[in-house]
């Protein structure tokens, strides 16, 4: 009898490469590597910088885009990974967080859903509450002294956990109106820590008046030693 032999295994095939992501027709038409002219907004009354400006060269697209924080394949969600960090108010579905250190504006806070959702996959029940929560947080920020308007911004390019920023424009500071308020927040000197913390307490208390729980704001981290002083 002829001895039986095990059938030869087929050689493993190399994994197929990921299909190359092509830029959209819009991106393909962009003047990559070209320095664009200074935009008209650089001469607006509300633009916070003056003098000779130069627009950066337009860089090539990055495709596929890297995963955001909290996306599949990305780093752990910052919000879910530390659910109590910097929270000044929370109810069953939503939370409001402070910034980690004093801001240039009187207070800057951010609204998040407690559960991990982005805007595009927000369940219908939370989506129905979302507009009401934006109004509620804006009113709480508006309750601070001397606030003309509260700007509401959602970007979401860094984190996959939905978050909306609330920036108060001080009454009378018309130079800060419009799209550049977030830049002014970075340019202005930081608020004194005690005044900043008191503003955050007032926002949390105003929110808790309509339900949920207010929490004591987190004190800013100790100032780093001045390198020049040794």
Residues 95-104: tens digit of each pLDDT:
999 999 999 9
- 124 pLDDT above the threshold of 50: yes
Domains of the chain are: 21-65 (no CATH), 78-214 (3.30.428.10)
What is the pLDDT averaged over residues 169-179? Answer: 97
pLDDT of residue 19: 75
**Cα 141–chain centre separation:** 18
Q: What is the pLDDT of residues 26-63, one digit of tens each?
A: 999 999 999 999 999 999 999 999 988 899 999 999 99
What is the pLDDT averaged over residues 218-230? Answer: 72
Q: Flag the least confident range among 77-81, 111-115, 221-225.
A: 221-225
Percent of the chain with pLDDT over 70: 90
Mean of per-residue pLDDT scores for the chain: 92
pLDDT band for position 17 (cuts 50, 70, 90)? low
pTM: 0.87
pLDDT of residue 227: 53
pLDDT of residue 20: 85
């Amino acid at each position: 009898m002829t001895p039986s032999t095990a059938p030869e295994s087929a050689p493993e095939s190399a994994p197929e490469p990921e299909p190359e992501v092509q830029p959209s027709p819009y991106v393909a038409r962009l003047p990559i590597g070209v320095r664009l002219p200074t935009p008209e907004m650089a001469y607006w009354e509300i633009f916070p910088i003056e003098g000779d400006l130069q627009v950066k060269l337009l860089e090539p697209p990055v495709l596929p885009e890297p995963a955001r924080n909290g996306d599949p394949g990305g780093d752990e969600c910052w919000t879910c990974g530390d659910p109590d960090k910097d929270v000044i108010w929370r109810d069953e579905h939503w939370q409001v967080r402070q910034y980690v250190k004093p801001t240039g504006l009187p207070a800057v806070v951010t609204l998040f859903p407690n559960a991990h959702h982005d805007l595009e996959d927000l369940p219908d029940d939370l989506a129905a509450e979302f507009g009401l929560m934006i109004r509620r947080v804006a009113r709480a920020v508006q309750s601070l002294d001397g606030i003309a308007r509260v700007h509401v911004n959602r970007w979401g390019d860094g984190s996959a956990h939905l978050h909306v920023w609330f920036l108060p424009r001080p009454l009378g500071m018309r130079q800060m109106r419009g799209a550049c308020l977030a830049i002014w927040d970075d340019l202005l000197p930081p608020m004194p820590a005690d005044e900043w913390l008191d503003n955050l307490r007032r926002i949390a208390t105003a929110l808790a008046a309509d339900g949920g729980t207010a929490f004591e704001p987190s004190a800013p981290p100790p100032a780093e030693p001045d390198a020049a002083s040794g």
